[in-house]
């Protein structure tokens, strides 16, 4: 099957897009390769609204649709990832909060998303809102999530991928996510001030690397909400590629109404409108993530 290059998604003409969509609908793709080891990826950027949650849930859904087991840990008290994956996160539901306190295991808090049998989510409830402050006085406050994500605990769910969706801050919850992961995935919005704050994020990652988690790397940068009609989007894209090279995925996620509508239906865009441009670009991004993780050049 010939496929257009992911890099060209944002620039497709409507006819080319339609043709590619028809091809993909007719020929469901083969499973994605499994990673060489279980990948734990923290999705972080202290700016709000850059596409952390959207990228987490859609990459996770795309990988699960292609045969990989995926666990999403919702570490944002707003619980947007839980909403998009359609899992219960009312106050009182066993959640990541109880997991951080050591009261329940990861497997006990995890729920299966109705969007795939291979997709699991540890939800965030509003109880997590106090955790940032409560954690301060707790023993091992930076590594509570890491403790909960021990090999034994993860083996119960046996995910190939774990994505941790961070809140829009660099507080203790985000530090816990960085200590628990090997990789950071940074979504960058193709917008004004996109790079502002990035050096602060990178400095914090370096601090975590030198004091708490030597294994941590920024493995993946994803450009989101690209609007092909603006010159600015191209400027941001080339600046980010210039700075970060191959860390940046070739696929760029376009701004798309379907992507923003999907959470309102408790769905990822892959479930809400699988043939849409937004869904296809997240699928392309997930394919890149999977092939890189399996050590295969595309």
**One of 253, 270, 283, 285 touching ligand ADP (CB under 6 A):** 253
By CB under 5 A, name the one of 52, 146, 255, 287 that touches Mg ion.
Answer: 52
Scanning 62-70, 100-108, 128-136, 250-258 for contacts with ligand ADP by CB under 6 A, the matching segment is: 250-258
DSSP β-bridge partners for residue 19:
none
As measured in angstroms, the least distance from the Cβ of 53 to Mg ion is 3
Smallest distance, Å, CB 189 to Mg ion?
12
**Residue 100 interacting entry, from ligand ADP, Mg ion, none, C-beta within 5 to 8 Å by type:** none
Contacts of 234 (CB under 8 A, 6+ apart): none
* 53 belongs to the binding site for ligand ADP (CB under 6 A): yes
Interface residue with ligand ADP, options 42, 80, 116, 176 (CB under 6 A): 80
Measured CA to CA, the distance from residue 164 to residue 69 in angstroms comes to: 15
How many residues touch Mg ion under the rule CB under 5 A: the total is: 3
Under the criterion CB under 6 A, does residue 259 sit at the interface with ligand ADP?
Answer: yes
Q: Is 266 in the site for ligand ADP (CB under 6 A)?
A: no
Q: Is 264 in the site for ligand ADP (CB under 6 A)?
A: no
Least separation in angstroms between residue 84's CB and ligand ADP is: 9
Beta strands across the sheet bearing 217-226: 111-112, 119-122, 70-74, 161-165, 39-43, 183-189, 217-226, 248-254
**From 45-53, 92-100, 120-128, 134-142, span contacting ligand ADP (CB under 6 A):** 45-53
Residue 255 contacts ligand ADP per CB under 6 A: yes
Q: Which of 53, 55, 58, 189 binds Mg ion (CB under 5 A)?
A: 53
* Range in contact with Mg ion (rule: CB under 5 A) among 79-87, 191-199, 211-219, 247-255: 79-87
- Count CB atoms within 10 A of the CB of residue 33: 18
Distance in angstroms (rounded) separating the CA atoms of residues 195 and 204? 15
The reply on whether position 69 binds Mg ion by CB under 5 A is no
Does 77 bind ligand ADP (CB under 6 A)? Our answer is no
Find the binder of ligand ADP among 63, 278, 285, 292 (CB under 6 A): 278
Q: Considering the complex, what minimum distance in angstroms separates the CB of residue 256 from ligand ADP?
A: 5
SS3 of the chain:
CCCCCHHHHHHCCHHHHHHHHHHHHHCCCCCCCCCCCCEEEEECCCCCCCCHHHHHHHHHHHHHHCCCCEEEEECCCCCHHHHHCCCCCCCCCCCHHHHHHCCCCHHHHCEECCCCCCEEEECCCHHHHHHHHHHHHCCCCCCHHHHHCCHHHHHHHCCCEEEEECCCCCCHHHHHHHHHCCEEEEEEECCCCCCCCHHHHHHHHHHHHHHCCCCCEEEEEEEEEECCCCHHHHHHHHHHHHHHHHHEEEEEEECCHHHHHHHHHCCCHHHHCCCCHHHHHHHHHHHHHHHHHCCCCC
Site string for ligand ADP, 81-110 (x = CB under 6 A): ------------------------------
Residue 224 within binding range of ligand ADP, rule CB under 6 A = yes
Applying CB under 6 A, among 39, 52, 144, 287 the residue interacting with ligand ADP is 52
Residues in contact with ligand ADP by the rule CB under 6 A: 48-54, 80, 168, 224-225, 253, 255-256, 259-260, 263, 278
Residues in contact with Mg ion by the rule CB under 5 A: 52-53, 80
């Amino acid at each position: 099957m010939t496929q257009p290059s992911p890099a060209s998604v944002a620039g497709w003409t409507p006819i080319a897009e339609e043709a590619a969509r028809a091809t993909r609908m007719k020929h469901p793709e083969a499973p994605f390769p499994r990673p060489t080891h279980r990948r734990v990826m923290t999705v972080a950027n202290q700016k709000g609204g850059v596409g952390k949650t959207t990228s987490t849930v859609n990459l996770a859904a795309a990988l699960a649709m292609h045969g990989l087991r995926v666990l999403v840990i919702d570490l944002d008290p707003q619980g947007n990832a839980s909403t998009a994956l359609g899992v219960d996160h009312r106050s009182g539901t066993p959640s990541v909060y109880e997991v951080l306190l050591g009261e329940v295991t990861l497997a006990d808090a995890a729920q299966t998303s109705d969007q795939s049998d291979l997709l699991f989510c540890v939800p965030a409830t509003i109880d997590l809102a106090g955790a940032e402050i409560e954690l301060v006085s707790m023993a091992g406050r930076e590594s509570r999530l890491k403790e909960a994500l021990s090999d034994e605990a993860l083996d119960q769910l046996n995910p190939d991928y774990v994505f941790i969706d961070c809140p829009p801050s660099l507080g203790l919850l985000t530090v816990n996510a960085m200590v628990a992961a090997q990789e950071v995935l940074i979504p960058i919005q193709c917008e004004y001030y996109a790079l502002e704050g990035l050096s602060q994020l990178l400095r914090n990652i370096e601090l975590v690397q030198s004091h708490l988690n030597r294994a941590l790397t920024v493995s993946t940068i994803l450009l989101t909400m690209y609007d092909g009609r603006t010159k600015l989007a191209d400027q941001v894209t080339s600046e980010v590629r210039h700075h970060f090279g191959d860390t940046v995925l070739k696929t760029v996620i376009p701004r798309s109404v379907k992507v923003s509508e999907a959470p309102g239906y408790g769905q990822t865009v892959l479930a809400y409108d699988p043939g849409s441009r937004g869904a296809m670009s997240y699928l392309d991004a997930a394919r890149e993530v999977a092939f890189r993780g399996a050590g295969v050049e595309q």
